[in-house]
Structure 1
Amino acid sequence: MSVLLAVSMIWLAPPYVRWLMSAGTAPLDPASPVRTIIGDGGDPTGQSWQIAWTGHALLHDIGRLWNTNLFHPEPYGLAYTDSLLGYAPFGFVGGGPDAAVLRYNVVFVLAFALAFLGGYALVRQLGGNWIGAAAAGAAFAYAPWRYGHDGHLNILSSGGIALALAMLARGHGWSFTDGYRPERTRPGWVAAGWLTAAWQISLGFGIGLPFAYVLAGVCLVAAGGWLLRGRPSLGRRVLLADAGGLLVFLGVTGYLAQIYQSVRDLHPQIERSWDYVALFSPTWKGLLTAPRPSLPWGDWHEPARQAMGNAPNEKVLLCGFLLYALAAAGLVISIWTIRQRVLLAAGIVLGVLLAIGTNGPLYKLVYLYLPGFDGTRTPGRLILWPTLLLGVLAAGLLTQLCRRAAAMTREGYARTAAQVVTVPLLAVLLFEGMPKLDHVPVRIAPAVMAEAHAPLMVLPSDEGIDLNIALWSTAGFPTMVNGAAGITTPEHHGIRELMKTFPSPQSQQKLREIGVRTVVVVREYVVGTPYELVLNAPATPGVTRRDVGADILYTLD
């Protein structure tokens, strides 16, 4: 059901809703899942390469997993951003750019499906009914702020967080409504919860780092509660499942941390200064502002986004106006106890104060004292946690409304009455979370790419075009200098700058030093850039030029 909902919400329904809202003037052309990519033509093309590369490397060249075919000759290219390693199995099937685009579009939809499933499962385990759980899943998966990250699959892939928490709670026989019940413990669910948490971490530390700290906090609280309650029996199998699962989780986390620390050791400049973090920190107004791809609110909130200045997609934090209202009412009317509601509210406030980064009083503490946070520049992504807690509060309200409606109705009509009261609210919640995502045509690799011998470099080279070149490289994964990610090393930047003078003797010398003998010039993209001079460069000793269609292939003798 969550997959069908995701396909409808992300791919099928938005064009028709836009058509209705525009009184029939908006186009209804269906997007091709092979020739178009969801979001924009930048980061998604790079992430489609990541999934393809990790699958290829695990099957054919696992020793080069982190030292990818891009960023030659630098190591650890896969760790220049969140690796999406957990999606590698999708890369086992198919090859080339078309398969990479289709694969990305499928995974994009599945990320929303898993987020809905995770939110649903968590609330069901806590004690909510199916309508409340569905509302929490919808809030977690389709919150408007998430569409500001329509090009960030690593941020949208949050379903494993809620699902792991649900599994761990179920495995330990714990819920909001019943507390701890030893007879309900399930070691299999405990192991599955830790494995799911490890898989979530394998996607990257962008949202995985806070998750790891939250899990650590949950473990400490659970251990404290266990001690205060007189150390009730947990069962030998549960303890073994915890020990084994935790070992796997720590092993995966430690392994990935070591890789990313190696990158920081090689490039210490990637640490984000406090002033740099301030450029991406939201304000309180972000909680009331939606991103451009939000179907109900995107156009209306354009002036507010413009006033945010730099990177507004990182500063829009709208979780949903209806969600705010339901959560506020859930503080008063709910199946959760008063103590639980107070704790949920405190968690929401804490999460919001952290999400506004330098504009709040708390983020500097985690920036200074929690390892890893000094490497991130986007505190607004922490709004994920208030969103989840708001959904739990709303679920408590809806579950209680169902019970009251059923109690006030004659026998035989209780279920219908409960649905009449609550299902419309769920429908409106889904509507407010509907996107108008772009489906951008994918740039097809020019014919000259098939004739270039690796290692090679493609011109022009910058943070935009290199993402498309990364996608082209899925046809065989040739080694190349090009590459774009969350960081740009001084060495990579230096080569790009030097290649603006190609085929100068200095540029030739640098290419020979790193083993590159082939340079591809894509005329369509090089025109109007600092690399344009290469189109009419005079004959140079040691370099052979050959025109391939509209493009140029240079070979260093």
Structure 2
Amino acid sequence: MDESRADPAAERQRLRRLRAFTRHEWVVACFSALLLAVAMIWLLPPYAQWVMSAGSIPVRVANPARTIIGDGGDPSGQAWLIAWNGHAVRHGLGGLWNTNAFYPETYGLAFTDSLLGYAPAGLFGSGPDDAILRYNILFVLAFALAYLGGYALVRQLGANRIGAAVAGAVFAFAPWRYGHDGHLNILSTGGIALAVAMLARGHGWSLTQGYRPRRVRPGWALAGWLVAAWQITLGFGIGLPFAYLLAAACLAAVAGWLLTGRPALDRRLILADVAGGLAFAAVTGYLAQIYLRVRELHPETPRSWEYVALFSPTWRGLLAGPRPSLPWGAWHEPARAAMGNAPNEKVLLCGFALYALAAAGLFASIWTVRQRVLLGAGIVVGVLLALGTNGPLYRYLFLYLPGFDGTRTPGRLILWPTLLLGVLAAGLITHLSRRAAAVTGREHARLAARVVTVPLLIVVLFEGMPELDHVALPAAPAALAAAPAPLIVLPSDEGIDLNIALWSTAGFPTMVNGAASISTPDHQAIRDLMQTFPSAPSLDRLRGLGIRSVVVIRDRVLGTPFEAVLRAPPTPGVTRRDIGPDILYTLD
């Protein structure tokens, strides 16, 4: 009798706990981030295009297992990177940096951002099809984490939920980000905002209430440092400025502590900061010495100031969206054409709705006037840095901060003004919510706040909707599977080598082919020489490298300098075999 009474009560208690868990803010935020990313990146754009075209464009939702997001070039190479990292982890990490590509070069993984932090994903699946699906999943998750990171940071600073949602939407779906639809390393920014949010929470600090010793949480501080270290493992393209800003924040915190009379600090917090800071420094230092080694081996790696100028935006870039932006892509085509080469690196549009909200947030906000002035100043400084050679400040980074002379794309620094604009906008949204609640009274406060602010969130999200390409990649040639390694596939150039790298995920054969941010002179020299294959000099070079086979993709060499190989007569010491439409040459 007692058990029958206890069971219903226990069941009700479990249901209450379950409901409380599913309604918890952070559970809702995580679920919303994932759902929003899937909808914004994959599901909603086809329907939005159908509506905007009055039904003339049919609705086609791409298959994530058969197509890859982007143009099929850089995404193929990044899908290979993630697969290689997982392969290296499974085999003990001994050959991590010397990939199967770029043979006989060493440190091939460090020829670009390594995406090493995504290695756990590379443990699952094998071959090109799994690599494509894995890449598409991570692409969506990168946007989900960016939204969640922006939300968490601005919530910690003191904004309400809708304000934080606007900031998260801005940080994840700002139009300029789609100019990098082939650069997962640049889109993977969520760890930055999330780490700062964790560090702020761990130190009991917010914009609205300042430092609160009773709210110190050492565990959160340690977690923030570890997330920051993970972010660095994705690459220095975005991670380098983040590392310098963290160092500057630490110096500012120490200076503030000294100037305020050295107040007592929680010992557990000090231990967490020391342990986490050392972990972050160790990871950053390890990766830095790898890239410095590459620089020593290849002195041509640093970029010249004149080269950076070719990729530097002008202030007009702040008003131009990239081609994959659904609202602005077609409209802004003339503006992009006027930018010259690499317009995807020069479009800096953060969103016109965001500009309006942030501008209004300078005058009406929950942030203090002093905080708004500092946020505005930070935005101005960030924009001037993002202009590269067309601004007055970037030269100081280029000349005096190690690492900045290795990047050609200062426009990516627009990430930081975007985040600050989102903070300003969140301050306004929270202010409007409070005003609406105060005007309508307690009974209708929540409804009034949503009526005023949710439409602004919807506008921001619509402006951030993309029109991404979903490309079906060609299947690997059968001749590649039959070729003994080490091998080279012809033609070889910066474009097709990215596809070849993806094909190589079926077994990771050692090969000469490879494409990345840098192309070494020796690597290019092999490509140039192979245009004469099977000439005597090309065979001598291949045998000297220990190359055992050459795969010729017939339809890809047509119209290229490699086409002469199709008319080559039989060559002593070389066995030719036609496999399907392609050719396999085996060196005896």
TM-score of the superposed pair, with normalisation by structure 2: 0.94
Amino acid at match of 2:253: A
In the other structure, the counterpart of 2:115 is 84
In the other structure, the counterpart of 1:196 is 227
Offset of residue 30 of structure 1? 1.8
In the other structure, the counterpart of 2:287 is 256
Identify unmatched segments of 5+ residues in structure 1: none
Q: Is 2:526 the partner of 1:495? A: yes
Q: Is 2:401 the partner of 1:353? A: no
CA distance in 2, matches of 1:525, 1:49: 20
Q: Is 2:339 the partner of 1:308? A: yes
Match of 2:145 among 99, 104, 114: 114
In the other structure, the counterpart of 2:356 is 325
1:394-442 Cα deviation digits (max 9, x unpaired): 0000000000000001321000000000000000000000000000101
Mapped contact 1:185–1:238 kept (Cα < 8 A): yes
Q: Is 2:34 the partner of 1:3? A: yes
CA distance in 2, matches of 1:125, 1:75: 44
CA distance in 2, matches of 1:395, 1:302: 31
In the other structure, the counterpart of 2:493 is 462
1:455-513 Cα deviation digits (max 9, x unpaired): 00000000000000000000000000000000000000000000000001100011111
1:268-289 Cα deviation digits (max 9, x unpaired): 1111000000000000000000
4+ long deviations beyond 4 Å: none
Mapped contact 1:149–1:155 kept (Cα < 8 A): yes
Q: Is 2:319 the partner of 1:288? A: yes
CA distance in 2, matches of 1:205, 1:548: 42
CA distance in 1, matches of 2:555, 2:311: 33
TM-score of the superposed pair, with normalisation by structure 1: 0.99
CA distance in 2, matches of 1:41, 1:411: 54
SS in 2 for 1:19: helix
Mapped contact 1:456–1:520 kept (Cα < 8 A): yes
In the other structure, the counterpart of 1:173 is 204
Amino acid at match of 2:505: T
CA distance in 2, matches of 1:62, 1:98: 24
In the other structure, the counterpart of 2:78 is 47
SS in 2 for 1:269: coil
SS in 2 for 1:297: coil
Mapped contact 1:459–1:521 kept (Cα < 8 A): yes
Offset of residue 221 of structure 1? 1.3
CA distance in 2, matches of 1:444, 1:344: 50
In the other structure, the counterpart of 1:162 is 193
Offset of residue 222 of structure 1? 1.4
Amino acid at match of 1:253: T
Q: Is 2:469 the partner of 1:441? A: no
CA distance in 1, matches of 2:386, 2:544: 45
Mapped contact 1:119–1:162 kept (Cα < 8 A): yes
In the other structure, the counterpart of 2:20 is none
Match of 1:265 among 296, 311, 330: 296
CA distance in 2, matches of 1:458, 1:411: 71
Q: Is 2:406 the partner of 1:375? A: yes
In the other structure, the counterpart of 1:217 is 248
Match of 1:524 among 555, 570, 576: 555
Mapped contact 1:182–1:233 kept (Cα < 8 A): no
Amino acid at match of 1:190: A
Once the two structures are overlaid, the 10-residue window that deviates more, 422-431 or 227-236, is 227-236
1:81-104 Cα deviation digits (max 9, x unpaired): 000000000001110001000000
In the other structure, the counterpart of 1:62 is 93
In the other structure, the counterpart of 1:543 is 574
CA distance in 2, matches of 1:480, 1:429: 46
In the other structure, the counterpart of 1:337 is 368
CA distance in 2, matches of 1:489, 1:219: 38
In the other structure, the counterpart of 1:276 is 307
Mapped contact 1:405–1:417 kept (Cα < 8 A): yes
1:337-371 Cα deviation digits (max 9, x unpaired): 01110110010000000000000000001100000
In the other structure, the counterpart of 2:263 is 232
CA distance in 2, matches of 1:297, 1:242: 44
CA distance in 2, matches of 1:353, 1:32: 41
Amino acid at match of 1:460: P
In the other structure, the counterpart of 1:297 is 328
* Count of residue pairs the alignment pairs up: 557
CA distance in 2, matches of 1:535, 1:36: 31
Offset of residue 223 of structure 1? 1.4
In the other structure, the counterpart of 2:103 is 72
Identify unmatched segments of 5+ residues in structure 2: 1-31
SS in 1 for 2:561: coil
Amino acid at match of 1:152: H
In the other structure, the counterpart of 1:144 is 175
Offset of residue 61 of structure 1? 4.1
Amino acid at match of 2:149: G
Mapped contact 1:354–1:362 kept (Cα < 8 A): yes
SS in 1 for 2:551: strand
Q: Is 2:422 the partner of 1:391? A: yes
Offset of residue 62 of structure 1? 1.1
CA distance in 1, matches of 2:445, 2:261: 42
Amino acid at match of 1:226: W
CA distance in 2, matches of 1:4, 1:231: 46
SS in 2 for 1:519: strand
CA distance in 2, matches of 1:117, 1:232: 33
Q: Is 2:48 the partner of 1:20? A: no
CA distance in 2, matches of 1:171, 1:411: 33
Offset of residue 232 of structure 1? 2.1
Q: Is 2:587 the partner of 1:552? A: no
CA distance in 1, matches of 2:60, 2:44: 12
CA distance in 2, matches of 1:554, 1:447: 13
CA distance in 1, matches of 2:56, 2:188: 34
In the other structure, the counterpart of 2:133 is 102
Amino acid at match of 1:142: F
Offset of residue 229 of structure 1? 2.0
Once the two structures are overlaid, the 10-residue window that deviates more, 537-546 or 105-114, is 537-546
SS in 2 for 1:63: coil
CA distance in 2, matches of 1:497, 1:411: 75
Amino acid at match of 1:16: Y
CA distance in 2, matches of 1:344, 1:215: 17
In the other structure, the counterpart of 2:214 is 183
Amino acid at match of 1:289: A
CA distance in 2, matches of 1:36, 1:232: 57
Amino acid at match of 1:484: A
Amino acid at match of 1:319: C
SS in 1 for 2:531: helix
Q: CA RMSD in A?
A: 0.6
Amino acid at match of 1:249: F
SS in 1 for 2:339: coil
SS in 1 for 2:255: helix
CA distance in 1, matches of 2:539, 2:287: 37
Once the two structures are overlaid, the 10-residue window that deviates more, 438-447 or 81-90, is 438-447
Mapped contact 1:33–1:105 kept (Cα < 8 A): yes
Q: Structure 1 residues 554, 61: CA separation in 2 closer, same or farther (over 3 Å shift)?
A: farther
CA distance in 1, matches of 2:263, 2:355: 38
Amino acid at match of 1:316: V
Amino acid at match of 1:305: R
In the other structure, the counterpart of 2:537 is 506
